[in-house]
Chains A and B, each alone.
Chain A
Amino acid sequence: MPLPELAILWRPFAAAVLGGLVCGIVGVWVVMMNIPFVGVAMSHAAFAGAVTGLLLGVSPLLTAAVFCLAASLLIGPVAEHADIEPSVSLGIIFSLVLGFAFLAIGLMRGPRAGALNLIWGNILLVSARDLALMAGAAAAVLLFLGLFYKELQAVLYNREIARAVGIPERALFFAMLVLCGLSVTANLGTIGGLLIFSLIVNPPSAAYQLTYRLKTMYLLSALFGILSCLVGLLVSWLTDAPAGAVIIITSSAIFGLAMLFSPKRRPADGVRG
């Protein structure tokens, strides 16, 4: 590949690494807490926010972040106050933000290409501002993970037990949701609001098949996320195929392979019922 073309690619390459990394990490929280719908709700909240931003003539990223933050702050309290499972409250939030998104699209005048771009995203057209936002989200997620690793492990194991040993599990749970929303917002322009859900769920689900160690799961999940994004980027660059779609197909293929070769499908030695 000629040098000028490689120079053009550095920004999408960095976006692929950052996007895959951050989605892989927050995905571990989503999968371990068995709330995969959080990715759907967050991505649609971000999409609804961005479309509302386009409608109002303000920065779509800013409104996407506001909607994501609002959704993440609603999911936990709605589940607690209504005494329902978080997955049910996620369903309610999801339907609410979807309503907002369709309302905003319906009220928009003129071409709606800007809104549709946010559904699919385009990693090849990532701007310096997008990249900075992604780097910020990745830094926030990694810092949070580094500072509260032991507490997060307890929350992911069992929220009631975490609370019983004196860990502020509620605050940590809400913080995880907020960071999940931030990560979705940061990747909206590159991966797309519709497809990012798969990137949050598939890499950690693949990692879950392969290890009994949480640290290894984080590492594998981030690695699979980055690999999916890089493959998507490369195939898109070479064939003009939509990058987001290739990213998702790649991450799904990785999950399929992990499931096929998972050591967890075989009964472990010395394990009793």
Chain B
Amino acid sequence: MTSAVSLRSVTVGYHEQVALRDVSLEIGRGEFCGIIGPNGAGKSTLLAVINGLTRTRSGTVNVLGEFATRANFGRLRRRIGYVAQQERVDPRAPISCLDAVLIGRCGRAGLLRRLASADRGRALAMMELTRTSHLSDRPVGRLSGGEARKIALARALVQEPELLLLDEPTSNLDPRAVREFDELVADAYRRFCLTVVMVTHLLDHLPQIAGRIVMVRNGRVTHSCDRAALNDERLVAQLFTDAAP
């Protein structure tokens, strides 16, 4: 299996604080990888490294077959769908849900090019897939938590990504909304043959289809195994206890 993501000895720090320490990680193409760990473990930083949204102090990052540099990350990101942890949007913001989804086409369309009707068609199709067609004219700031995550997923999918990154997309959602979102992600994973990396602090929030689990704690990858092999409940419990370094 070829690698979709390959990190070698990556260290990331913000001021004096080290968020990731000497992390190495391989994620194969077509894998659905869940990253779990307690708050502040470095999970979101790991996604930010893969998406080039943060600077590394050391180490190398290879994404979708290319060594990622500041120069080529802009181009690489067009092939990466990203659902952020939470998008703060003013409820009065003058942007409709359809406009917010269409933002996902901007990178692929390129500068100085107008979005074509095919782009709009693709956006509407992804809204249908994520069961948000009825929201197309609704202001994007006036959504419930679950609706907002689905719109963010539609925007990521409209990019036609090869790699989909999800940063705690189910946090603060009720169990029904979590289940519904997981179903949508699993459907998109199968339908578009994606590589998915999903961060969460709850193992239950990962769709069953997530075949591989990576555990992160105190900025380090502590375990990486098949979900099927994750039958030792103590391992998960241990991850969330004594989280201090």
Contacts and interface: CB of A to CB of B under 8 A. Distances in A.
Interface of A: 32, 83, 147-148, 150-151, 153-154, 156-158, 160-168, 208-209, 211-214, 216-217, 264, 268, 270-273
A150 B74 contact: no
Nearest to A154: B103
10 contacts: A148-B111, A148-B112, A150-B103, A154-B106, A157-B93, A165-B159, A166-B76, A167-B106, A208-B92, A212-B96
Interface residues of B, number: 41
Contact of A153 (B15, B89, B95): B95
Report the 8 A-B pairs with minimum CB-CB distance, sorted nearest first: A166-B107, A166-B78, A164-B82, A165-B107, A166-B77, A154-B103, A272-B144, A271-B142
A164 B152 CA distance: 12
Interface in B64-116: 74-78, 80, 82, 84, 87, 89, 91-96, 99-100, 102-104, 106-109, 111-112, 114-115
A151 B106 contact: yes
Contacts, number: 94
A157 B95 contact: yes
Most chain B beta carbons < 10 A, residue from A163, A166, A213, A264? A166
Contacts of A147: 112
A174 to B, nearest CB: 15
A166 B75 contact: yes
A273 B144 contact: yes
B190 interface: no
A264 B84 contact: no
B138 A271 contact: yes
Given A150-B103, A154-B106, A214-B99, 17 more contacts: A148-B111, A150-B109, A150-B115, A153-B95, A153-B103, A157-B89, A157-B103, A162-B106, A165-B104, A165-B107, A166-B74, A166-B76, A166-B77, A166-B78, A166-B108, A214-B94, A273-B144
